[in-house]
Amino acid sequence: MNALVELSDAHVVHKARSGGLFTRDKVYALTGADLTIAPGETVGVVGESGCGKSTLAKVLVGVERPTAGTVSLRGRDLWAMGPAERRTAVGAGTGMIFQDPSTALNRRLPIRQILRDPLDVHDRGTRVQREERVRELMSLVGLPRALTDALPGQLSGGQRQRVAIARALALDPGLVVADEPTSALDVSVRAQILNLLLDLKERLGLALVFVSHDIQTVRRMSDRVITMYLGRIVEEAPAAGVTDGSRHPYTRALFSATPGLLDPIDPIPLVGPVPSATRPPSGCPFRTRCWKADEVCAREMPGFTAASSPEHRFRCHHPVEEGEATRDLVRQSHSSREPS
């Protein structure tokens, strides 16, 4: 596969924020992530809060340095480059869209300046060409010309997110990462922003990494879905079959919680809290909440197993059988938890 971005055994370990000044606690935000993203594909990322989705997103676009492992952009190791070279590679090659456009944009700058800034920083074209590019970007994301001199505060939330998208696209990157791009917006404008992203992705041939809590939206938007749990990628599955074809019990549980309208089922219960990212359980981190877990799961984290369809792999000692309906898993999960 001709990779656009490739993570190889990427780890991010933070010092814990709480717990006193002299704590040596570490937070395992991302553990052993291997991931390849091809030009033009859309990859969705799902998992509960704190599982490392934003960390993965930031590592992919080169704004966060992994504490171990490598990130390659078009085959070149980002963190082996010098700082200037990396800034150029990252700035021109990737774009990031954040959750809240009102904090992501400089409140004192007019839209024109916000959109010109990346062109100025990376010294693209002449003054006239930059002005022209700003106009082009505004029309690309459907912002009226009249807003060129407006400040972010004078725009609606949806318009602000369009500005953020335009800015991310300013240098024509091959990869755009959108981290919860609609969760701070009114429900009424969410679909417009999602459609805009899909439309731009088609027109510009972008690879898109899309992070959201709304997993049905992730499924609809994506070619491939990545499931994360406690800092680890535990499954990669084609989006079309993820609801009933995913093999990791956790992916099934996640997707069972928001069934389609046609054939609703009881969700597979995820009992208890997500364990601490400071002291992840031994072996498979999901075992403390998994109805299939046994001693093997406590002993070691399984490697990836290839599923029958290409682009589908999972890390589980006791995967869901191929073709097994989620409906049956619901029963299984309940009966395994009944006191005996």
Ligand X SMILES: Nc1ncnc2c1ncn2[C@@H]1O[C@H](COP(=O)(O)OP(=O)(O)OP(=O)(O)O)[C@@H](O)[C@H]1O
Segment contacting ligand X by CB under 6 A, of 44-52, 101-109, 265-273, 332-340: 44-52
Check binding of 212 to Mg ion (CB under 5 A): no
Contacts of 124 (CB under 8 A, 6+ apart): 118, 130, 133, 171
Nearer to Mg ion, 179 or 236 (CB): 179
Encode 201-238: b = buried (16+ Cβ within 10 Å), e = exposed: beeeebbbbbbbebbebbbebbbbbbbbbbbbbbbbbb
SS3 250: helix
Task: State the minimum distance, in angstroms, from the CB of residue 11 to ligand X.
Answer: 12
Nearer to ligand X, 17 or 107 (CB): 17
Task: State the minimum distance, in angstroms, from the CB of residue 224 to Mg ion.
Answer: 19
Nearer to ligand X, 29 or 301 (CB): 29
Nearer to ligand X, 50 or 157 (CB): 50
Using CB under 6 A, pick the residue from 4, 53, 86, 249 that binds ligand X. 53
Check binding of 182 to Mg ion (CB under 5 A): no
Our CA angle for 219, 242, 274, nearest 5°, is 85
d(CA 291, CA 319): 11
Using CB under 6 A, pick the residue from 4, 7, 10, 27 that binds ligand X. 27
Q: At residue 131, what are phi and psi to the nearest 5 degrees?
A: -60, -40
Nearer to ligand X, 44 or 52 (CB): 52
Q: Would you mind telling me the total number of residues written for the chain in this entry?
A: 340
> Cβ(243)–Cβ(220) under 8 Å?
no
Give me the long-range contacts of 297-301 (CB less than 8 A, separation at least 24).
301/232
Residues in region 266-285 near ligand X by CB under 6 A:
277
Segment contacting ligand X by CB under 6 A, of 49-57, 104-112, 264-272, 319-327: 49-57
Q: What is the dihedral of CA 270, 49, 254, 246, to 10 degrees?
A: -120
Residues in region 34-63 near Mg ion by CB under 5 A:
53-54
Using CB under 6 A, pick the residue from 2, 49, 126, 188 that binds ligand X. 49
Nearer to ligand X, 54 or 222 (CB): 54
SS3 187: helix
Check binding of 54 to ligand X (CB under 6 A): yes
Residues forming contacts to Mg ion in the complex (CB under 5 A) are: 53-54
Residues forming contacts to ligand X in the complex (CB under 6 A) are: 14, 17, 27, 29, 47, 49-55, 277
